Structure 1
Amino acid sequence: MNTWDQRFKTAEYVYGEQPNTFIEDYVHYLKDYPSVAAYAEGEGRNAVFLALQGHTVTAFDYAESGLKKTEQLAEKHNVSVHTKLTDLLQDELPEEMFDAAIMVFGHFPAEQQQEVFKRIVNSVKPGGLIMMELYSIYQLPYASGGPRQLDFLYDPLDVLKWCQPYKIIHFFTGEQMRNEGILHTGLAHTIQFIIEKS
């Protein structure tokens, strides 16, 4: 059992049941992209939100307890979300299968972050969209959530470099208020982007 599996073994949703604010604010970009993959999706709040907007959603996570909560949350809202137990660092991901993909605060060691990014981009069809919000390396002093090790945070310049081969629709780094359950609360320093795969 991994730490995330442990973390999600609670009745309450530790990151809340509401979608991430960035996903909620920019969901209109996904309007013409029916099938969406939600990576490192945790307890399913974003996947269920997207399903409620009419998308066909597949949630990937490597915590079984998180995927169970995703299914419960989907049931509560009378929508369906496909769940897949997946380790993004080791398991094969589908290739060119989805119209779009999202990831909110996926925590990976710095040397593996670009590889995860590439795998997620590869899972989307040409012309598809990828949307992410990540904690930046400037997040540590904020203490409002996210990893406590610098090595698991993202450098905005690196992320911008990874996005450069694609059409950048939105790119932001800076302060955001985040009130997501008990674990993400208050002012945070994040990186957001929306890119279109050519």
Structure 2
Amino acid sequence: MNRIKGSSPGVPSWDERYRESVYVYGEEANLFIQEASQFIASKSKVAAYAEGEGRNAVFLAGIGHEVVAYDYSQEGLRKTEALAAKNGVQVQTKQVDLIEEDLPIEQYDAAVMVFGHFPRINQYQVLNKIILSLKPGGCFLMEVYEEEQINCNSGGPKDVSWLYSATEMLKWSKQYRLKHFFTGEVERTEGLYHSGGCYVLQVVVEKLA
């Protein structure tokens, strides 16, 4: 199978995956994003990175934020726009390669990323660009798979080098104001490819003013 740059191992191109008529990761926002959205000030300008088919962006727009969804896949962005229309909200979409391209500087009050996985050599390169896109005092919310997910069959990359180390993530997070940090097992039921018990990392950090 062909893989686009940025695809996790064993996954077809994201355009190919998102071309399916169903929302392959579901239409409901990630549970952590729903719960942790309290960290985002009301009526914020929010970036949703590696957003896929738009479920988190649409949720955030639905609770009153101005949202821009970024993804590599044009098919994912097309479905994001369709899901936003279905739910009667506005979400701006932008196609971007988070590894290769720059992001806006100090433009957003908050950012989210759910299961945005990259080769280990690029992980913190991407995270640092996301932090740079935040205004001082802005917050970043993230849920990704930890290395222990390699032993689970509930989704995510099948190469441990595409998963995140809790130790390294904690070290990175301490550069900022750490509001929430969790690693452990949770249940996720998200469409066709994320289902069952999984091992995640959750992070909420605030960029220092």
With the shorter chain as reference, the TM-score category is over 0.9
- 2-structure distance, mates of 1:21, 1:31: 18
Q: Give the corresponding residue for 2:83.
A: 73
Deviation at 1:28, TM superposition (A): 1.4
Check conservation: 1:33, 1:100, Cα contact below 8 A: no
- 2-structure distance, mates of 1:76, 1:180: 19
- 1-structure distance, mates of 2:125, 2:144: 15
Q: Give the corresponding residue for 1:64.
A: 74
TM-score, normalised relative to structure 2:
0.93
Give the gaps of 5 or more residues in structure 1. none
Deviation at 1:161, TM superposition (A): 0.9
Deviation at 1:92, TM superposition (A): 1.4
Aligned AA (2:47): A
TM-score, normalised relative to structure 1:
0.98
Give the gaps of 5 or more residues in structure 2. 5-12
Instruction: Spell out structure 1 runs of 4+ moving beyond 6 A.
Output: none
Check conservation: 1:33, 1:99, Cα contact below 8 A: no
Aligned AA (2:148): Y
Check conservation: 1:33, 1:128, Cα contact below 8 A: no
Q: Give the corresponding residue for 1:188.
A: 198
Deviation at 1:140, TM superposition (A): 1.0
SS of the residue 2:89 aligns to: coil
Deviation string, structure 1 residues 20-67 (Cα, Å, up to 9, x no partner): 000011111113361000000000000000000000000000000000
- 1-structure distance, mates of 2:36, 2:113: 13
What do you get for the CA RMSD once the two structures are aligned?
0.9
- 2-structure distance, mates of 1:78, 1:100: 22
Aligned AA (1:25): E
Match of 2:143 among 133, 157, 162: 133
The number of equivalent residue pairs is 198
Check conservation: 1:34, 1:99, Cα contact below 8 A: yes
The answer to whether 1:165 aligns with 2:175 is: yes
Q: Give the corresponding residue for 1:156.
A: 166
Check conservation: 1:132, 1:193, Cα contact below 8 A: yes
Deviation at 1:17, TM superposition (A): 0.1
Q: Give the corresponding residue for 2:107.
A: 97
Q: Give the corresponding residue for 2:44.
A: 34
The answer to whether 1:14 aligns with 2:24 is: yes
Aligned AA (2:21): A
Q: Give the corresponding residue for 1:116.
A: 126
Q: Give the corresponding residue for 2:60.
A: 50
